[in-house]
A and B are shown apart, each in its own frame.
Chain A
């Protein structure tokens, strides 16, 4: 597998549009709490195309993890899911468990935040990968093992043959993350969902894991849905980003646009809370207040209490998502009319 040395352009939208792999529409997840139904996420819609990297960005309480679990159909029984999640045009919501199990791994794969915890400690890493291959592809033990070693090589684990026979506790955190990636790629899925793959890793390891994921994507033409709270990760590897706040999508745009011209105040606030060595070397923007908990979600704008641009209209009724520029959607009635360049800097 070649090594990329030049920075690739974020995927441009041209006439030859790659096929849409994942199509989420009107996703809504509710749970029962104390006799009433509260919604954790609602009206979430987005797409991921083959070869495209989409970042689902949000902080704690934004609903991004619930959304990713909903897409994978891995929500606990207590959650009520409505809306549509289509993979290759086929509806996943409401599918029987057995069919979903077949799809997971072969068409849709997920890697999680704490790699070591997702690996079974009593089996060698090689056997876990081989088992997955054999279950989905039905090949022989020897072939599966050969493929396993190939995959470990692919994710740049040195001495792959020997490492495959080791147990998860014998490998470092970064290596476990790579094993997990190998396992996710084993059955050649079309769509890979990575949930906070770089949180709690050192910067250098973070870099390696991200570049590995990107290279795997380029090699296999995968669609990649990256769930993260770190805008730096989005800036580094994503083509499009979807910003979530308090259970809803508030903005969605190609990354260049999102960083050059954010249109939702929350997006601007989030961007300005990152250190910006160029414009504000020693200042950080801060959004006052905190995210509302799910039981307190309103129908109208949920960011309004913290927004310096709030108007009475913002809290009067539901705010729809509108397309304000090509491929740029915002849920804000003042979108496009505000200069957010210095927003939230004290």
Chain B
């Protein structure tokens, strides 16, 4: 029996759909659409991580952006912390932006190359009118240390720093407004292996400290085991399977899931296998 006093999930998505116009005829009428998301339900609780996995083109990044209404859905509901944000107007949506933030894949692209690190970290607070100058500075100082960098990095430009360092900055930036939900869009795909481990561990520590909910979008299934409580497998705009991590890895119910799992590279030579001829995954 559901506990009626339990807090609502941090993020709840129902029936989400999004398509893009591909072709119009001479009169401007739409003749072809690409359906990126065809009807997706998912939810994430506080302190939990839901990983959305799939190959490129599956629609997982689109789901991530829809969750924060960085793009608008065609159909469906998005509820953040119990509040329906699907139809919210601009000023109300802005409020939500403080409570739900995003970490992007490539830190060299998600940080303005013309802005200092200090500005990039301050911007969310300035945009949200949070705190006075000295309060913001104190927060920025605290956050930069928390992510393992030093105050000296604040006056630098992105080009002066490494990918791993910049992604830590991106994490700090996502935390400046004390959000409750963070959407992570392939946050470690662009990083080296040992740096990946550093960043993943940092994300987990911060989640434990703050009770954050993570929507973790990735194509790397091996990572998912380490970081996610639940996994939703996406294919061609639909969720194929959505289970707790352990169950999904030990007893996948869907063939597609099995295909993805078998494609994970071995962690040790004794586990290596050659593929039997699999169906070509690129058809164009």
A277 near B273: Cβ-Cβ < 8 Å = no
A259 near B193: Cβ-Cβ < 8 Å = no
A202 near B56: Cβ-Cβ < 8 Å = yes
B126 CB–A CB distance under 8 Å: no
Which residues of chain B are near A259, meaning CB under 8 Å?
268-269
Contact with A along B263-284 (1 / 0, CB 8 A): 1111111111111111011111
A318 CB–B CB distance under 8 Å: no
B201 near A284: Cβ-Cβ < 8 Å = yes
A203 near B266: Cβ-Cβ < 8 Å = no
Identify which of A5, A10, A281, A288 contacts B274 (C-beta below 8 A). Answer: A5
Which residues of chain A are near B269, meaning CB under 8 Å?
10, 235-236, 238, 255-256, 259
A277 near B192: Cβ-Cβ < 8 Å = no
Contact with A along B102-114 (1 / 0, CB 8 A): 0000000000000
A203 near B260: Cβ-Cβ < 8 Å = yes
Closest to A62 in B: B192
Q: In the bound complex, how far is the Cα of B56 from the Cα of A103, in angstroms?
A: 38
A283 CB–B CB distance under 8 Å: yes
Q: In the bound complex, how far is the Cα of B191 from the Cα of A273, in angstroms?
A: 12
Taking the closest CB of chain A, its distance from the CB of B197, in whole angstroms, is 4
B196 CB–A CB distance under 8 Å: yes
Which residues of chain A are near B194, meaning CB under 8 Å?
59, 269-270, 273, 286-287
A248 CB–B CB distance under 8 Å: no
Which residues of chain B are near A219, meaning CB under 8 Å?
none
A151 CB–B CB distance under 8 Å: no
A274 near B272: Cβ-Cβ < 8 Å = no
B278 near A203: Cβ-Cβ < 8 Å = no
B249 CB–A CB distance under 8 Å: yes
Identify which of B200, B223, B249, B266 contacts A236 (C-beta below 8 A). Answer: B266
Which residues of chain A are near B259, meaning CB under 8 Å?
204
A282 near B164: Cβ-Cβ < 8 Å = no
A4 CB–B CB distance under 8 Å: yes
Q: In the bound complex, how far is the Cα of B283 from the Cα of A208, in angstroms?
A: 14
B219 CB–A CB distance under 8 Å: yes
Identify which of A8, A205, A275 contacts B267 (C-beta below 8 A). Answer: A275
Which residues of chain A are near B55, meaning CB under 8 Å?
202-205
Contact with B along A304-325 (1 / 0, CB 8 A): 0000000000000000000000
Q: In the bound complex, how far is the Cα of B278 from the Cα of A231, in angstroms?
A: 23
Which residues of chain B are near A285, meaning CB under 8 Å?
197
Given contacts A5-B274, A273-B197, A285-B197, contact A236 B281 (CB under 8 A): no
Q: Which A residues between 255 and 289 are near B, CB-CB below 8 angstroms? A: 255-256, 259, 269-270, 272-278, 281-288
A3 CB–B CB distance under 8 Å: yes
A346 CB–B CB distance under 8 Å: yes
Taking the closest CB of chain A, its distance from the CB of B178, in whole angstroms, is 26
Q: In the bound complex, how far is the Cα of B280 from the Cα of A275, in angstroms?
A: 27
Which residues of chain A are near B201, meaning CB under 8 Å?
284, 286, 346
- Sort chain B's interface into a size bin: 35 or more
Q: In the bound complex, how far is the Cα of B271 from the Cα of A7, in angstroms?
A: 9
Q: In the bound complex, how far is the Cα of B281 from the Cα of A177, in angstroms?
A: 13
Q: In the bound complex, how far is the Cα of B279 from the Cα of A88, in angstroms?
A: 39
Q: Which A residues between 218 and 258 are near B, CB-CB below 8 angstroms? A: 229-233, 235-238, 255-256
B19 CB–A CB distance under 8 Å: no
Identify which of A60, A171, A235 contacts B265 (C-beta below 8 A). Answer: A235
A275 near B222: Cβ-Cβ < 8 Å = yes
Contact with A along B210-243 (1 / 0, CB 8 A): 0000000001111101100000000000000000
A3 near B277: Cβ-Cβ < 8 Å = yes
Q: In the bound complex, how far is the Cα of B274 from the Cα of A229, in angstroms?
A: 20
Which residues of chain A are near B32, meaning CB under 8 Å?
none
Which residues of chain A are near B197, meaning CB under 8 Å?
272-273, 284-287
A214 CB–B CB distance under 8 Å: yes
A175 CB–B CB distance under 8 Å: yes
Taking the closest CB of chain B, its distance from the CB of A162, in whole angstroms, is 13
Given contacts A60-B163, A259-B268, contact A230 B276 (CB under 8 A): no
Identify which of B272, B275, B284 contacts A172 (C-beta below 8 A). Answer: B284
B282 near A174: Cβ-Cβ < 8 Å = yes
B195 CB–A CB distance under 8 Å: yes
B163 near A286: Cβ-Cβ < 8 Å = no
Q: In the bound complex, how far is the Cα of B29 from the Cα of A253, in angstroms?
A: 63
Which residues of chain A are near B220, meaning CB under 8 Å?
203
Q: In the bound complex, how far is the Cα of B226 from the Cα of A175, in angstroms?
A: 32
B271 near A235: Cβ-Cβ < 8 Å = yes
Which residues of chain B are near A156, meaning CB under 8 Å?
277, 280
A173 CB–B CB distance under 8 Å: yes
Taking the closest CB of chain A, its distance from the CB of B250, in whole angstroms, is 10
A290 CB–B CB distance under 8 Å: yes
A284 near B226: Cβ-Cβ < 8 Å = yes
Which residues of chain B are near A170, meaning CB under 8 Å?
284
A173 near B282: Cβ-Cβ < 8 Å = yes
Closest to B273 in A: A7
B278 near A207: Cβ-Cβ < 8 Å = yes
Q: In the bound complex, how far is the Cα of B267 from the Cα of A273, in angstroms?
A: 11
A203 near B267: Cβ-Cβ < 8 Å = no
Identify which of A3, A59, A272, A278 contacts B195 (C-beta below 8 A). Answer: A59
B198 CB–A CB distance under 8 Å: yes
B254 CB–A CB distance under 8 Å: no
**Could you name 8 residue pairs across A and B whose Cβ atoms are closer than 8 Å?**
A6-B274, A59-B194, A158-B280, A204-B263, A230-B265, A236-B266, A274-B222, A346-B201
**Interface contacts beyond A211-B275, A273-B196, A284-B197: sample of 15 additional A-B pairs, CB < 8 Å, sorted by A:** A10-B269, A60-B163, A156-B280, A175-B282, A204-B259, A214-B274, A233-B265, A236-B265, A236-B272, A256-B269, A277-B222, A277-B267, A281-B225, A290-B195, A346-B201
Q: 5 tightest CB-CB pairs across the interface, nearest first?
A: A232-B265, A273-B197, A172-B282, A59-B192, A203-B263
